[in-house]
Amino acid sequence: GPAALALLGPAPGAPSCPHGPALLFVKTSQGKEEGRRFYACSACRDRKDCNFFQWEDEKVSETRLAAREEYNRSHQPCFTHTQNVDRYKNFVLLPLSKRRFCQDCQQLLLPAEWKKHSDHQFLCDITTARLKSPSQLLYPLENKKTNAQYLFADRSCQFLLNLLIDLGFRRVLSVGTPRLHEMIQSKASQEEEFNVRSLLLDIDFRYSQFYTEDEFCHYNMFNHHFFGGEAARETCRKFLCEENGERVIMVTDPPFGGLVEALASSFKKLMAMWRETEKEGHDNREMPMFWIFPYFFETRILDFFPSFSMMDYQVDYDNHALYKHGKTGRRQSPVRIFTNLTPRMIVLPEEEGYRFCTVCQRYVSSGNQHCEICNSCTSKDGRRWKHCVLCKKCVKPSWFHCNNCNCCTLQKHSCEKTDPGCFVCGKAGHKRSACPSLSRS
């Protein structure tokens, strides 16, 4: 059978790569006993982005340990966050004609450094407005599965922010959502009466050039690692304290190739951090959360967070060819909001085609018909689904029941068992790259 990888999770005493503590994996083959366990980079799924690898039972020599530490050190950013904050202060004091940004190095330049970057591409006349929207100034790191920086379209970002405000939240822990953080920050600096605050946790250290230590923590959401150590962890913990009853919510938008299990483990640790901030009252409650992720991961997410449910709102992205709304994108976005808030509180905009279902007590996409037999609005993708009596559930409109396969599937499919569908889990209806099951080949 196909070999797959299973994540065993963060292990105490795990070795580190430049992305923090590595995660422990095991290779499994169907029908065979477990393979050897090994450590690999928590953040990079692609070996060419970070090729860290070590067998769990391997004895690593002193020389190799020293070389590894040196490698990790040399792969840290050239300026610290504190230095970047100082550089920013100096940068804003410069006249417009002297404000340059090096595109090759993705760095704000001070005049003394121009010479060193003279053969690089740079942008000139960086206005304060541009400094306030770094996500538009920086190149999106799209090629890396680690970063997969697809940024919220303005409309979706505005919708999320309005929703948070209507729900009464005043503090947003923005985990991997630089656009939302940016929108909150710029409104706060422009509008006197705007009282929402945000803390950005992101693996992209470039943001440290634009935000202070109270506004940004360099963080890896795959292994819950704060690169700034105890001080950064404390910043986050403080931010999660509900001072004078200001309610806090975490909003996260992880890379879609990310391991759900690793993410869930980190999110639970952030929730625990929130619980510790309050001496009483939080014991059995969960920190309010929006986890933004494709709908085909629904069962995986609910495995880890049974209190969550999936909203019908389609979240759109600016620089993602597939996930654009309406006529221009190739198809509708599969990205949804998973939340532990009461579904009926999440009001979706009627003008964008959502309506309230009184039976389900939640807002649904207008094409999402309530099925009397399932007794719920069953569509996951905005189209009207149909009920199959034999499958005892609703299925996509383009599917038909195949008596050979004994389930609903596309009309053009090969029934032979030679086509198991997905390589990883063997189910039909999705490719390996979109497999919601944990293992990956």
Q: Which CATH architecture has domain 154-366?
A: 3-Layer(aba) Sandwich (3.40)
pLDDT at residue 377, rounded to an integer: 80
pLDDT at residue 389, rounded to an integer: 86
Q: What is the per-residue pLDDT across 40-74, written as a single tens digit (0 to 9) for each?
A: 999 987 778 898 999 999 999 999 999 999 999 99
Asked if 50 contacts 44 with a C-beta cutoff of 8 angstroms, the reply is yes
Taking 90 as the threshold, does the pLDDT of residue 162 lie above it?
yes
Q: What is the per-residue pLDDT across 299-342, written as a single tens digit (0 to 9) for each?
A: 999 999 999 999 999 998 876 555 544 444 445 788 999 999 99
More confident residue, 320 or 170: 170
> Could you tell me the two tokens for 322?
């597939």
Place 210 in a pLDDT band, splitting at 50, 70 and 90. very high
Place 390 in a pLDDT band, splitting at 50, 70 and 90. confident
Q: What is the per-residue pLDDT across 189-204, written as a single tens digit (0 to 9) for each?
A: 889 899 999 999 999 9
> Could you tell me the two tokens for 193?
């009466």
Asked if 235 contacts 196 with a C-beta cutoff of 8 angstroms, the reply is no
Distance from the first to the final alpha carbon of the chain: 11
pLDDT at residue 194, rounded to an integer: 92
* Residue closest to 173 by CA, chosen among 189, 196, 156: 196
Taking 60 as the threshold, does the pLDDT of residue 1 lie above it?
no
> Could you tell me the two tokens for 247?
């309610």
The phi-psi region of residue 426 (left if phi > 0; otherwise alpha if psi is between -120 and 50; otherwise beta) is: left
Length of the chain: 441
Q: What is the per-residue pLDDT across 334-376, written as a single tens digit (0 to 9) for each?
A: 899 999 999 999 999 998 889 999 988 899 988 888 888 887 8
At 81, give phi and psi (nearest 5°). Answer: -60, -45
Rounded mean pLDDT, 119-143: 87
> Could you tell me the two tokens for 84?
């970047």
pLDDT at residue 327, rounded to an integer: 46
pLDDT at residue 126, rounded to an integer: 95
Place 418 in a pLDDT band, splitting at 50, 70 and 90. very low
In the chain, what percentage of residues exceed pLDDT 90? Answer: 55
The phi-psi region of residue 15 (left if phi > 0; otherwise alpha if psi is between -120 and 50; otherwise beta) is: beta
CA 337, CA 278: separation in Å to the nearest integer?
A: 27
pLDDT at residue 149, rounded to an integer: 66
More confident residue, 234 or 378: 234
3-class secondary structure per residue, the chain: CCEEEEEEEECCCCCEECCEECEEEEEEECCCCCCCEEEECCCCCCCCCCCCEEECCCCCCHHHHHHHHHHHHHCCCCCCHHHHHHHHHHHHHCCHHHCEEECCCCEEECHHHCHHHCCCCEECCCCHHHHCCHHHHCCCCCCCCCCCCCCECHHHHHHHHHHHHHCCEEEEEEECCHHHHHHHHHHHHHCCCCCCEEEEEECCHHHHHCCCCCCEEEEECCCCEECCHHHHHHHHHHHHCCHHHCEEEEEECCCCCCCHHHHHHHHHHHHHHHHHHCCCCCCCCCCCEEEEEEHHHHHHHHHHCCCCEECCCCCCECCCCCCCCCCCCCCCCCEEEEECCCHHHCCCCHHHCEEEECCCCEEEECCCCEECCCCEECCCCCCCCEEECCCCEEECCCEEEECCCCEEEECCCCCCCCCCCCCCCCCCCCCHHHCCCCCEC
Q: What pTM, to 2 d.p., does this model score?
A: 0.86
* Residue closest to 359 by CA, chosen among 372, 346, 350, 348: 372
Taking 80 as the threshold, does the pLDDT of residue 384 lie above it?
yes
CA 202, CA 255: separation in Å to the nearest integer?
A: 12
